[in-house]
Chain A
Amino acid sequence: MGAGDDSARFKDLGHRMMCTCGCGQVLLECNHVGCQSSDKMRDQLQAALDKGNNDDLILQGFVQEYGPTVIAAPTATGFNRVAWIMPFVALALGITFVVYVVRAWKNRPEPALADGIAIPRGNEHDLDEFRQRARKETDL
């Protein structure tokens, strides 16, 4: 594994963890003046990479030392999966609902044409009314 790979992994892993100083920033983006946490954590990350540990092992090591909040996003395990799934469930439900609504509206009977009422034959007055409506709806 070359230096370039390690550098990319450092950047990737550093963006998957939070600084623990309370700044609420991603580890590699914490720039608190004199922040003790981020400097120490960066050194630890670099040391773990130098040892040749894999990504999971490195992240586990940080979780053991700093607690689960050190990971910047919920892991795809246990209840944390719900965090990832819910937005897509909402999207799927939303699409289903919109398609249902569109179909229901499409099949709805035209309210202006009730049974038994004959459609009047167009004269100039009627056409003016339709033109007004068309302009309103199309903004011509």
Chain B
Amino acid sequence: MSQIGSFALLLALGLSAYSFLAGFLALFRKDAASARLGETARRAGIATFAAVLLAGIVLVVAAFHDDFSIAYIFHHSNRDLPAAYKFAVLWSGQEGSLLFWSLLLAGYGFVLRLRYKTDQRLFAYASVIIAAVQVFFLLILNFAAHPFAIMQGALPADGTGLNPLLQYPEMVIHPPMLYLGYVGFTVPFAFALGALIMKYPGEKWIQITRRWTMVTWCFLTIGVFLGAHWAYAVLGWGGYWGWDPVENASLMPWLTGTAFLHSVMMQEKRGMLKVWNMSLIFATFLLSMLGTFLTRSGVISSVHAFAQSSIGTWFLVFIVLTLGVCSFFLVANRSHLKSEHKLESLVSRESSFLFNNLLLLVVCFTILWGTFFPILSEFVQGHKVTVGPPFFNRVAIPVALLLLLLTAVGPLLAWRKTSVESLKRNFLFPALGSLAIGGMMILFGVRPWEDPSYFYATMAAVLSALVIFTVISEFLRGGRVIAGKSQQNLLSAMIHLCHRNTRRYGGYIVHFGVALVVIGILGTPFNKEVEKEMGFGDKINIGTYTLVCQSYTQDDNPNYANEWAIINVFRGGKQITTMYPERRFYKASGQPQTLPRIYPSFREDLFLVTDVYLVYEGKNETTGRPIIKAHLNPLVPWIWIGLIIMVFGTIVALVPNAAAVQVAATTPVRAPAQVGAGD
């Protein structure tokens, strides 16, 4: 089996190298044969997908057949591993995840090459650039991190098993989502670089890649949030974001990708920010690669990082090379990227996008700076320092709050220029509503002046409310205009409105989701925790909940042995649920793992939903009783609800607009502020 896989990888390398070289030659040759050469390059690119897919299938089949002659299968699987996790073996280790990355890239390339008729020349450039990236990954797979390497010596009877942290249902979807995001940014990157090299006229490349970029961004968003949820549900420390370097690495391209999605609108609508947009998409791609470099090189210590290996050097060389190529063409072809319009007012949508981009990039820089500062510190001071959560919370949160303010205000500003009257009219209801929320928080006992964390929480609540009220008022205002003209009820009118401009209103829905995520995060300063050894009938009181230990027991299956506690949860004297915090001992790997249990309590107050979060910390060896750590995490479920709304908003934004309403030539054009300020 390993020979088939190895052959498939070698074949894929040959095909992608041909696709790159032949495609490159075809672009610069002027003779009649160049079109045929280009076509062979395109087909070789398509065939690359088939070859990489075969390699991927072979690795998964090897996992299902417990083929421990392949070292990768021996190190990441075992006979009693459940089937879903055997499938996940493909991305559970270094070599497999690189193969998975290569497979996704080949898949994206496959789709791109099938759709080449949209614009043959631009697609040919993009295809060559994707082939170049593909060659890089296949070189690593063939020569530095071979997934089909054979075990030396006697054939082992069983594998060492999958890392227990990865044996969780979300691990079957979190890495693919994240990788679809990381890898997907290669497509807009390839189009951008291609358009720059060929001095592509106009903004069509942005329109072609708009959906690619949004889908990619959506995958990355899901991937980042699933990672946070996995940390919350598996790591058992009661939090979801630890500012670990690898978590940071996933956030950085998300931030620059988000900045790109906003600023690209300025290029589409006003022909501005061309150099900036190119730089942003280049940065997003390079940061995706940097994330992989961080994970694989071992230069930064992380709970996620794979073992230190030589492939970090490969990534470093690739990043430097790509940076060089991008910088060269940005400088050489800068005359092609001149802005077409002037800015008319500081109070305009254009300015808000500029500041939005600035703040997103400052957050990104802060994260990059904090992630690499330990290395810099070692170089300058001779010793490493830790840059952990206190640093990121203190520095990134104020900037993120400013960003939230812009998220609220930006949609109220019109393109070109916004009058003070329209700003006042559009801003009054959201501003009053959000201030009322702040007042209510103080009324209910939050004292923002007592502690910085309470201050940030109050500000975050006020600004999230501002975003939410802004979005609602935009929907209501537009809906009322349509309802007045078409005699529909307000809800139908708002749906109609949304369908008429899916991108704008989908974007608003995403903003709404972001505000909910922030609401979920702002509960952190109000978290509570209690740790106690619990015998039969023992109680923990936490917040308004009483936890009673009914029993504790243990079990055994071929994959792991486990022990857990049975905890009844009461509120107001009434039992609301039973929870089973658990600790497992995985037999193949010999590693223990705690599995917290989470109960999101919506029953009494939907808005103030609270997670009851129980961790089986271990057992008192003397008494044999379980030690239970109970956390009460208010508002956290809003993070996951916010994610669902963000994804829904992205899907809405991907839906094509309904046919534009024909405006009669005699109808006077209304001021933009009357039906909303624009996209």
Q: What chain B residues lie within 8 Å of A98 (beta carbons)? A: 351, 354-355, 358
B377-427 interface (Cβ within 8 A of A): 377, 380-381, 383-391, 394-396, 399, 414-416
Q: Tell me, yes or no, whether A111 is within 8 Å of chain B by CB.
A: yes
User: How long is the Cα–Cα vector from A97 to B358 in the complex, in angstroms?
Assistant: 9
Find out whether the CB atom of B354 lies under 8 angstroms from the CB atom of A101: yes
Q: A60 to nearest B CB, angstroms?
A: 15
Closest approach, in angstroms, between the C-beta of B294 and any C-beta of chain A?
A: 13
Q: Do the beta carbons of A30 and B385 come within 8 Å of each other?
A: no
Query: Could you tell me how many residues of chain B have their Cβ less than 8 Å away from some Cβ of chain A?
Result: 71
Check if B629 is an interface residue, CB within 8 A of chain A.
yes
For B361, the chain A residues whose CB sits under 8 A away are 94
B236, A91: Cβ atoms under 8 Å? no
Residue B665 is within 8 A (CB to CB) of chain A in the complex: yes
A-B interface pairs (CB < 8 A), number: 162
Q: Find A80's partner among B303, B345, B377, B672 (CB 8 Å cutoff).
A: B377
Given contacts A33-B618, A131-B669, whether A68 and B342 have CB atoms under 8 Å apart is: no
Known contacts A94-B361, A95-B358; A111/B341 CB under 8 A: yes
Task: Tell me the residues in window 97-119 of chain A with beta carbons closer than 8 Å to chain B beta carbons.
Answer: 97-98, 101-102, 105-111
The answer to whether A87 and B301 touch across the interface, beta carbons within 8 angstroms, is no
| B170 CB within 8 Å of chain A | no
Do B385 and A80 touch (CB < 8 A)? yes
- Per-residue CB contact flags for chain A residues 63-99 toward chain B (1 = under 8 Å, else 0) read 0000111111111001110011011101100110110
| Contact yes or no, A83 B343, CB < 8 A | no
Complex Cα distance, B63 from A69, in Å, reads 40
Which A residues touch B663, using CB under 8 A? 131, 135, 140
Q: Tell me how far the C-beta of B484 lies from the nearest C-beta in chain A, rounded to whole angstroms.
A: 15
Q: Tell me if A139 and B501 are in contact (CB < 8 A).
A: yes
Distance to closest chain A CB from B162 (angstroms): 18
A24: contacting residue among B242, B366, B504, CB under 8 A:
B242
State in angstroms the CA–CA spacing of A23 and B302 once bound together: 8
**Contact indicator per residue, chain B 174-185, by CB within 8 Å of chain A (1) or not (0):** 000000000000
- Taking a contact as CB atoms under 8 Å apart, the answer to whether B660 and A136 are in contact is no
Contacts of B618 in A (CB 8 A): 33-34
Interface residue A56 (Cβ < 8 Å from any Cβ of B): no
Given A24-B301, A31-B629, A139-B678, CB of A83 within 8 Å of CB of B373: yes
Q: How far is the CB of A75 from chain B (nearest CB, A)?
A: 8
A127 to B618, CA, bound (A): 76
Q: Are A137 and B346 in contact (CB under 8 A)?
A: no
Per the bound structure, the CA–CA distance linking A95 and B362 in Å amounts to: 10
Do B303 and A26 have beta carbons less than 8 Å apart? no
Q: A29-B239, A91-B362 are in contact. Are A102 and B351 (CB under 8 A)?
A: yes
Shortest Cβ distance from A35 into chain B, in angstroms? Answer: 10
Q: Does B538 belong to the interface (CB within 8 Å)?
A: no
Q: Which residues on A sit within 8 Å (CB–CB) of B648?
A: none
Contact across chains for B303 and A24 when beta carbons are under 8 A apart: yes
Binary flags per residue of B641-679, CB closer than 8 Å to A gives 1, else 0? 000000000000000000010010100011010010011
Contact partner of A73 (CB less than 8 A), chosen from B369, B391, B396, B503, is: B391
Q: Is the CB of B665 within 8 A of A78?
A: no
Q: How near does chain B come to A48, taking the closest CB pair, in angstroms?
A: 19
How far, in whole Å, are A106 and B396 apart by their CA atoms in the complex? Answer: 31
Q: How far is the CA of A22 from the CA of B678 in the complex (A)?
A: 51
Given A94-B362, A135-B660, A138-B678, A71–B385 Cβ distance below 8 Å?
Answer: yes
**Bound form: Cα–Cα A101–B419 in Å:** 21
Chain B proximity of A42: nearest CB distance (Å): 11
Residues on A with beta carbons closer than 8 Å to the beta carbon of B391: 72-74, 83-84
Chain B residues with CB under 8 Å of A59's CB are none
CA distance A134 to B675 in the complex (A): 14
* Cα(A21)–Cα(B415), bound, Å: 54
Instruction: Assess the A73–B394 pair: CB atoms within 8 A.
Output: yes
Known: A24-B242, A31-B594, A111-B341. A73 touches B387 (CB 8 A): yes
Q: A111-B342, A140-B672 are in contact. Are A87 and B365 (CB under 8 A)?
A: yes
A55 within 8 A of B: no
A70 to B503, CA, bound (A): 48
* CB <8 Å contact, B342 and A73: no
B669 touches A134 (CB 8 A): yes
Residue of A26, A80, A87 touching B366 (CB-CB under 8 A): A87
- The answer to whether residues A137 and B354 also contact, given A71-B386, A111-B340 and a CB cut-off of 8 A, is no
A124 within 8 A of B: yes
Q: Given A78-B381, A83-B387 in contact, is the A106-B343 Cβ separation under 8 Å?
A: yes
CB proximity of B256 to chain A, nearest CB, Å = 14
The answer to whether B387 and A68 touch across the interface, beta carbons within 8 angstroms, is no
Partner of B389, one of A26, A108, A138: A26
Contact A25–B346 (Cβ < 8 Å)? no
Most buried by A among B270, B342, B369: B342
On A, residues with C-beta under 8 Å from B are 15-16, 18, 22-26, 29-31, 33-34, 67-75, 78-80, 83-84, 86-88, 90-91, 94-95, 97-98, 101-102, 105-111, 124, 127-128, 131, 134-140
Sample 21 A-B pairs with CB under 8 A, ordered by A number: A18-B386, A24-B302, A29-B237, A31-B236, A31-B629, A69-B383, A72-B391, A73-B389, A74-B377, A74-B386, A87-B365, A90-B369, A108-B343, A110-B342, A127-B665, A137-B269, A138-B414, A139-B504, A139-B679, A140-B663, A140-B669
Given contacts A73-B386, A73-B388, list 15 more A-B pairs with CB under 8 A. Answer: A18-B386, A31-B594, A67-B383, A69-B383, A72-B388, A87-B395, A94-B362, A97-B358, A98-B351, A98-B354, A106-B343, A127-B665, A135-B663, A138-B672, A140-B669
Give B contacts to A, CB under 8 Å: 235-239, 242, 244, 269-270, 272, 301-303, 339-346, 351, 354-355, 358, 361-362, 365-366, 369-370, 373, 377, 380-381, 383-391, 394-396, 399, 414-416, 501, 503-504, 583, 592-594, 615, 617-618, 629, 660, 663, 665, 669-670, 672, 675, 678-679
The 5 closest A-B pairs by CB, nearest first: A105-B343, A72-B388, A73-B391, A73-B390, A108-B342
